[in-house]
């Protein structure tokens, strides 16, 4: 029986590229739908346009929450690392400027990745869902 192996997370570059494509697809579908709906919206259109607003609020709230929580966790780790380095009697165990810079870059990238994930997930799911629906 096959087991579900953990999937390797996509790089931020791949997620950003997918988000760029998915966002364009979703916007194109919804703008076309708005134009076709005209001034009198069907119940289906009202539901979709309402969802369009609430899902953005939800995705961005999840993104900010994930980023804030991960930033706190990451900052604690960075602070512990810097304190340990400062208190280390040996200069051999102290990180170089390049290592500290890379650590800070990795920390910023991981916080950004946590924020991108919910927005990416929602946009890609919407593009997939909307590609299967008819405009009228």
Q: How many residues does the chain have?
A: 136
Residue 136 is given by DSSP the state -
Diameter of the chain measured on Cα atoms: 74
Give pLDDT tens digits for 27-61.
Answer: 999 999 989 988 888 999 999 899 999 999 999 99
- Supply the pLDDT for residue 81: 84
Q: pTM, whole model, 2 decimals? A: 0.76
Indicate if the alpha-carbon torsion angle 66, 69, 74, 75 is positive or negative: positive
Which residues, other chains included, contact 110 with Cβ-Cβ below 8 Å and sequence gap of 6+? 70, 74
| Residue ranges per structural domain of the chain | 42-131
């Amino acid at each position: 029986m096959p087991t579900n192996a953990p999937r390797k997370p996509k790089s931020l570059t791949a997620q950003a590229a997918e988000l760029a494509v998915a966002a364009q697809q979703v916007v194109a579908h919804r703008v076309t739908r708005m134009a076709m709906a005209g001034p009198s919206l069907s119940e289906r259109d009202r539901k979709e346009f309402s969802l369009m607003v609430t899902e953005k609020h939800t995705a961005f709230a999840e993104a900010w929450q994930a980023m804030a929580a991960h930033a706190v966790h990451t900052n604690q780790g960075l602070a512990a690392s810097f304190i340990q380095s400062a208190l280390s009697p040996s200069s051999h165990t102290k990180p170089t400027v390049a290592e500290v810079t890379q650590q800070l870059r990795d920390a910023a990238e991981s916080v950004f990745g946590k924020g991108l994930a919910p927005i990416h997930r929602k946009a890609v799911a919407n593009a997939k869902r909307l590609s299967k629906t008819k405009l009228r």
